[in-house]
């Protein structure tokens, strides 16, 4: 395995790891919101923050990809 292939595999693994972490955080938040009977406004705020955090992570990856490809 060449160093470049290893670096690609490492990047893919790291991205999958973070996707799994975001999923687990989402499941934990869902459980806490359900158990605490949080009102609708609070649930919308919590899910918005989680969504924007995830989108920020995805955008960072896309920007890095396009920046490095030129």
* pLDDT tens digits, 29-68: 999 999 998 999 999 999 999 889 888 888 988 898 888 8
pLDDT recorded at residue 9 = 92
CA distance 29 to 32: 5
- Residue in the block written with tokens 């490809």: 69
Tell me how many degrees the CA angle 15-17-20 measures, rounded to the nearest 5: 110
Indicate whether 70 pLDDT > 80: no
Residue 34 in domain = no
Give the mean model confidence (pLDDT) for residues 13-32: 90
Residue 46 in domain = yes
Q: Which domain holds residue 55?
A: 40-70
Residue 24 in domain = no
Residue 12 in domain = no
Residue 1 in domain = no
Residue 8 in domain = no
Number of domains present in the structure of the chain: 1
Residue 44 in domain = yes
Tokens coding 63: 């920007």
């Amino acid at each position: 395995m060449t160093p470049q292939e290893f670096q690609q595999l490492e990047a893919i693994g790291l991205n999958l790891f973070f996707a799994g972490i975001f999923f687990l955080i989402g499941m934990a938040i869902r459980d806490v919101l359900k158990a605490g009977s949080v009102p609708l406004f609070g649930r919308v705020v919590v899910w918005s923050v989680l969504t924007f955090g995830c989108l920020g992570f995805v955008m960072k990856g896309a920007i890095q990809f396009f920046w490095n490809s030129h």
